[in-house]
Structure 1
Amino acid sequence: MKDIEVIHSYLESQASNCFSLLYNRYATKIFSKCISLLKDEALAKDATQEIFTKIFLNLSRFGEKSKFSTWVYSITYNYCIDYIRKMKKQDIFSDEMEKVADVADDGPEIDEELLQMEVRQLREVLDEISIGDKTILLMKYQDELSIKDIAEILGKTESAVKMQIKRAKERAQRTKRELFQEPFS
């Protein structure tokens, strides 16, 4: 059965086997996305359960305007980002973190350089950049989502997403140069 058929069946009958079928199809994907964003297995497990609760409580609101998988990804992404923001707010109040100035937007085209980073360097860079930059780069290059899908998930226009990706790549490249003391080219 296709996702949409399972959803309609579940909404009509509340059959637990439909719930189980969707859970089995998406649990690993949701958990993987949660662990990549939250960096903690226990948190990711809890988040996966919370996300499935949200999905099934709101299943009747799925309007079929996008693929079900995109809708699930959107809920997952938003849940994790909200959780991270909540934790950062707590950190700000407890640690009085310094504000970081936004950097200039003019920089070299870095697609090729970004893709040539060594895996170790890439991991370090991803750990250093903001969660927003990291997430949009992972959506585009790891999850291979289209600009249209990313725009839908983030609730932005496609041109805004393109600009956000461009700026995130530039900041990632700048972070790489700083971390590995590379000259500006």
Structure 2
Amino acid sequence: MDDAELRQVIANVRNGDIESFEKIVHRYQKSIFYYCYHMLGNYSEAEDMVQEVFLKAFRNLEQCNEEIPFGAWIYKIAYHQCIDMIRKRKLVKYLPFFYRDDKENKSVDQQIEAHYFDEHVHKAMMKLSVEERNLLILRCVQDKSYQEIGFILNQNSTNLRKKYERTAEKFRKYYAQVKGVEEVDVEQPSRFEKTFS
């Protein structure tokens, strides 16, 4: 479904064709699940959260601004739902995450699949704040633009780029500490890749 078709589906749902909302769920369900899974670190909680996200999206579809990409709007809902869950249970544990340099051209999914359960990545991520983890997840795992992330987090996209660079540097430093290797050089992604081998 392209953007024009998506806008039409949204219009149809707003006009009372409730069953068309299933098309929206079908388009975003998998990516929203992965996002919630990375944020919450629990499969069943992520499944429940996805249902909550789509329920909230359905109930608030009238408030969706057509000038904002629908994907960013629904990720913002997911972000707030996950943060609420984290606050409720005072979560300090997150699932591992693989840092990907912007210069790399490999598929994010392949990288995550290959390195997802790396204990060192998990430990390095645990040293980051919730906001820092979320920024890395949105940028590297979900492959969101800085503009989309800015909308989701209510922050300036230019500042986010700088914050991302600082956070990525912190992650590399923490990863090197827990792995017991030299700090990874961002200018040499192939060297960085080797630390995950």
TM beyond 0.5: yes
Query: CA separation in 2, counterparts of 1:162 and 1:173?
Result: 16
Write the mapping of 1:46-125 to structure 2, written as runs, cut at 5 A: 46-88=48-90, 119=115, 120=118, 121-125=120-124
Q: Is residue 11 from structure 1 mapped to residue 10 from structure 2 by the alignment?
A: no
Unaligned runs of 5+ in 1: 92-110
Worse-superposed segment, 35-44 or 132-141: 132-141
AA aligned to 2:177 is E
Query: CA separation in 2, counterparts of 1:140 and 1:27?
Result: 18
**Which has the greater radius of gyration?**
1
Which residue is equivalent to 1:136?
Answer: 135
2:176–2:183 Cα contact (<8 Å) kept? yes
Say how many residue pairs are matched. Answer: 163
Residue from 45, 70, 76 that aligns with 2:47: 45
Deviation (angstroms), 1:141: 1.9
Query: CA separation in 2, counterparts of 1:27 and 1:176?
Result: 31
Unaligned runs of 5+ in 2: 93-100, 106-110, 185-197
Deviation (angstroms), 1:85: 2.5
Identity of aligned residues (%): 25
Query: CA separation in 2, counterparts of 1:29 and 1:84?
Result: 19
Paired residue secondary structure (1:164): helix
Q: Which has the higher helix share?
A: 1
Query: CA separation in 1, counterparts of 2:154 and 2:37?
Result: 23
Q: TM-score, normalised by structure 2?
A: 0.72
